[in-house]
Amino acid sequence: MAGRCLQLASLFFFFFLFFSGALTFPLGQETEKSPTCGYESCHATKQDMLNVHLVPHTHDDVGWLKTVDQYFYGDRNDIQHAGVQYILDSVVDQLLKNPDRRFIYVETAFFYRWWRQQSSGMQQTVRQLVDEGRLEFVNGGWCMSDEATTHYSAVIDQMTMGLRFLNDTFGRCGRPRVAWHIDPFGHAREHASMFAQMGYDGFFFGRLDYQDRSLRMQKREQELLWRASESLTPPMADLFTGILPNGYNPPPGFCWDQSCDDPPIRDDPDLEDYNVDDVVKRFVAIANSQSLVYKTNHIIMTMGSDFQYENANLWYKNLDKLIRYVNAQQANGGKVNVLYSTPSCYLQELHRANSTWALKTDDFFPYADAAHDFWTGYFTSRPALKRYERVSNSNLQTCNQLEVLGGPGSRKGPFGRGTARP
Amino acid sequence: MAVAQHHDAVSGTEKQHVANDYARRLANGWQRCQVLVSNSLAALSGSTAERIYCDNLNISVCPLTEASKKFSVNVYNPLARPVSYPVRLPVNGTSYEVTDAKGKPVDCQVLAVSASTREVRRSRGSALRELLFQVEAPPLGFTTYSVSLLQDGPPPASPRPRAPTAIQNQFLRVTFDPDTGLLSSLSNLETKQSIKLTQNFYWYNASDGNNTHSDQPSGAYIFRPNSSTPFIVSSTAKTESIQGAVVQEVRQVFSPWVSQVVRLHADSRELELEWTVGPVPIGDDLGKEVITRIDTSIKTSEYFYTDSNGREVLQRRKDFRPTWNLRQSEPIAGNYYPINSRAFIKDEEDQLTVVTDRSQGGGSLHNGSLEIMLHRRLLYDDVRGVAEPLNEISDIFPEGLVVRGRLLLSLQRPPCAADAHRPLAQQVVLQPLLSFTDGELHPDTQLEFSGLQAALPLPVHLLTLTQWDEASLLLRLEHQFQSGESRVNAEPVTVNLQKMFSTLKLLGVSELSLSANQWRDEMKRFDWTPQSGERPLLKEFQDRSVWEVTLRPMEIRTFLLRVR
């Protein structure tokens, strides 16, 4: 992003002389060579084939069965085996081993915790991965917000906080292009409207009503254009929306995390249980079947799940092989092309398809995953916490305002040091 | 706050120890904020006297006001327009004088703390009475009220047994059924409209999973009543009433675990229902999902309306989905929708809007009816991973959590309803912050302050004002009306940023994306074509000048302001 001056209505020279040095926002990190992140860093695809975008990812709840910090450290693994610091350590290590590999990271609350503990050398290494599009941030808010019980004011704030950290740390290459709400239990129209106004090119999620999904599969309308406001002039609140094929999990039989039991690719013909032919056959069948319920010759597969990639070698070693062996079939007339990808690279291909998309103007509530399983209890669950969250937002807004109105003495004054920030 | 937005945080779908962790984080954040607020108010008022915050006013606990003979109340209003707000403070005296910032006495009223408040506060306070007065706070600023105990004041009138047949102020009239003690009608005296309205509390028996259709129990995520007919808590309420210059209230007791205060403030255009629910009894081994249901004479034709994340409103229809033919298999749970700040029902003549103080689930299952789920206590996990039943207890409530909240009811003509519920909902979300100083204030203390030169026009909501870095601020302005929902307020409106703030000197302005990580004019998104209709082209509206910005219905604009 090139530098620019703010629009000045008055006092131009005063401003220029004294404040131009502070014009770093939102330039962020300057890099020496021109980075090739974002859409430019996507792997090539093949026009006459079915392109399967493998998206290695981890879904890291900012608190659920364990607290956010227990999840970060990998504490209390007796409750749930999950440690985000190890995930990021391991993924960075594995990305460095093969430049083709890709990974996306979502929850800035965790990434921020990890980043602060890295050496400057490691930070430089990670910056390079980001600049080359090998590590890509998607969504990028402090957390992946709930959509049914949140108020827009707090959602905008938490998104701003996460995206600002990414911008300050990585500059242009840290800006997520895609909103990614793979787990929330139903989807609010106002969230889509906000994402559109935050500049996202598209949105992906995993959960919707089972009847809705089944009809959309038949009609190949799992990818759609969501017109998320009745008031804002289109396309201001239009958001391309994609429904992921397996929630956010890998297709059955292809989970290679340490927490999974699927067979690894056994590719040495001299050893027992050689299974490459079987794996390729199963994969091609799944890919072809998935392509029947999507519109273009590109499909996406989410290769990961809750707190996966703690030992990323397992995943990447098998994914490297999967790509190699499936694509090797192309020499024999195979029509499936597998590649490491990210949601934004996949989105770019859908955009290039220059197709038209079903228009949706309502929302995705309520969510049911079976006939008697309506996820409508959490609209009310823990009513005291829900109120306390709302009161806390009011207090925070007051705090933010008074920091501005009271000047620097608000942060350090007669009552000590105060802050509106975490 | 940021982690609390997570989809297993405010959603209530985490384990109990994790919910406690979120609450602790929120409390810690508020502690650090209090120091900032005290510093800021010291700078703006010129008084460095110690400032006390009372976070438990909803249960009438505030040690300072309970003990003090003379104190002052600073009321900070975070909205960009003036508000009138009822203050309710726990006290032990019988009579007080309250004066505003100009020294003028204001109406006040002392009344006895209710039995249900004593029950919910338990050992956390011991005030005998509550002092009520209405405050008027300036936009984005504060005012200060002084409170003095009067030695020889008369004791407050005791509550009268039973509900009166009606309570009313100049705007609203509310009637009660003398046989049941329940609400029976609501009238707006300004618009001359009147509806039948009864309201009561019920509970659904949560499914325990033993069922021929499915073994799914109700849990933190899932709502599954085992019958579509809820149990009534009580068909009658034991009532008492208090009528005074500041407030009229009818206190209804439905059972040892459900009570409510129907409250009409002197100058209020909305009716307040303050509900208190819990500890939800489980001695019968039945999980309970407690609702309140408002049944009215409004002809709803199976439609009702809910907001999305506190902003635009969506139409809901019973047993219907707009994009597919629904096979309804859960007649109650499958008709529940999230309510973030409001829901309403309406016909040609009448619109009843209910503004909530938190996110809740609700539905409209009968003609003229709106129900809102208030509390849940469940005995089984719903098999979605959390592996705990939603059975909240705490040190203070070992036999089950008691929850208290408010619903605000606004009856209007449909074309004008948003003019009332939009500002009302913002007022509930951004509520005034009260802080207290004991004793006499120094005579030089600045008692009033507004950060604005003038209130912003009603359609404009100041969403964000926050320090961005040393020299710049982040400002978000929002048009809070939807197009078409108001004759007067749903039009574009222009404000001048340079004439907005009273103390801030603005040097420059740049517009950003909503998330403030891109300049607005560098924001380029993929364009997409819908199956039906044209590919829309982004329309750029020109502002009158750099400083004069126009907001269109539901638009939020984000600015980085350089300040001196």
To 10 degrees, the CA torsion angle through B450, B455, B460, B464?
0
- The one-letter amino acid at B96: Y
Same domain for B258 and B172? yes
pLDDT tens digits, B411-444: 999 999 999 999 999 999 999 999 999 999 999 9
- The one-letter amino acid at A44: A
- The one-letter amino acid at B101: A
Looking at domain A41-360, its CATH class is alpha beta
pLDDT tens digits, A179-211: 999 999 999 999 999 999 999 999 999 999 999
Same domain for B283 and B383? yes
Structure token pair of residue A6: 């703010």
Q: Is the pLDDT confidence value at A105 over 70?
A: yes
Same domain for B404 and B481? no
**Main-chain phi, psi angles of A116, to 5 degrees:** -65, -20
Taking residues B349-360, report their average pLDDT.
98
For chain A, the average pLDDT equals 93
Same domain for B247 and B270? yes
pLDDT tens digits, B168-200: 999 999 999 999 999 999 999 999 999 999 999
pLDDT tens digits, B142-177: 999 999 999 877 888 888 998 789 999 999 999 999
Please give, rounded to a whole number of angstroms, the shortest distance from the CA of A42 to a CA of chain B.
16
For chain B, the average pLDDT equals 96
Does residue A285 belong to the interface with chain B, where contact is any CB pair within 8 Å? no
Taking residues B55-66, report their average pLDDT.
97
Burial category of A263 from C-beta neighbours within 10 Å (exposed 0-12, middle 13-18, buried 19 and up): middle
- The pLDDT of residue A11 is 32
- The one-letter amino acid at A70: Q
B20 within domain boundaries: yes
Same domain for B125 and B167? no
Long-range contacts of B157-161 (CB under 8 A, 24+ apart): B157/B111, B157/B242, B157/B244, B158/B112, B159/B111, B159/B112, B159/B240, B159/B241, B159/B242, B159/B251, B160/B240, B160/B241, B160/B242, B160/B243, B161/B239, B161/B240
B63 with B106: CB under 8 angstroms? no
Banded model confidence at residue A33, pLDDT cuts 50, 70, 90: low
**What percent of chain A has pLDDT above 70?**
92
- The one-letter amino acid at A236: M
B77 with B138: CB under 8 angstroms? yes
Taking residues B457-475, report their average pLDDT.
97
Instruction: For chains A and B, count residue pairs whose Cβ atoms are closer than 8 Å.
Output: 530
* Active site (annotated) includes residue A60: no
Contacts of B466 in chain A (CB under 8 A): 400-401, 403-404, 420
Banded model confidence at residue B537, pLDDT cuts 50, 70, 90: confident
Banded model confidence at residue A3, pLDDT cuts 50, 70, 90: very low
- The pLDDT of residue A418 is 87
ipTM of this complex > 0.95? yes
Same domain for B358 and B446? no
How far is B402 from A384, CA to CA, in rounded Å?
9
pLDDT tens digits, B313-346: 999 999 999 999 999 999 999 999 999 999 999 9
Reduced DSSP (H G I as helix, E B as strand, rest coil) percent helix, strand, coil of chain B, to 5: 15, 40, 45
B424 within domain boundaries: no
Same domain for B214 and B306? yes
Same domain for B332 and B222? yes
Contacts of A396 in chain B (CB under 8 A): 1, 29, 33
- The pLDDT of residue A286 is 98
- The residue behind tokens 């009332």 is B420
Look at A381 and B546 and tell me if their CB atoms are within 8 Å. no
Structure token pair of residue B421: 């519920």
- The residue behind tokens 């707190």 is A307
- The pLDDT of residue A20 is 33
What's the first-to-final CA gap in chain B, in angstroms?
A: 29
- Number of structural domains, chain B? 4
Same domain for B375 and B229? yes
- The residue behind tokens 């291909």 is A349
Same domain for B197 and B130? no
Q: Is the pLDDT confidence value at A22 over 50?
A: no
B427 within domain boundaries: no
Burial category of B213 from C-beta neighbours within 10 Å (exposed 0-12, middle 13-18, buried 19 and up): exposed
Q: What is the CATH number of the domain that holds B508?
A: 2.60.40.1360
B122 with B113: CB under 8 angstroms? no
Long-range contacts of A28-32 (CB under 8 A, 24+ apart): A28/A1, A28/A167, A28/A168, A28/A169, A28/A170, A28/A171, A28/A172, A28/A174, A29/A127, A29/A168, A29/A169, A29/A170, A29/A171, A29/A174, A30/A171, A31/A127, A31/A131, A31/A171, A31/A173
B237 with B253: CB under 8 angstroms? yes
- The pLDDT of residue B541 is 87
Q: Is the pLDDT confidence value at A374 over 60?
A: yes
Same domain for B182 and B278? yes
Q: What is the CATH number of the domain that holds B125?
A: 2.60.40.1180
- The pLDDT of residue A24 is 40
- Give the domain extent around B480: 454-525+537-563
Out of A150, A166, A191, name the one closest to residue B10 (CB). Answer: A150
- Pick the catalytic residue from A183, A209, A238, A257: A183
pLDDT tens digits, B477-487: 999 999 999 99
Chain A residue closest in CA terms to B32: A418
Same domain for B75 and B201? no
pLDDT tens digits, A46-72: 999 999 999 999 999 999 999 999 999
Q: Is the pLDDT confidence value at A9 over 90?
A: no
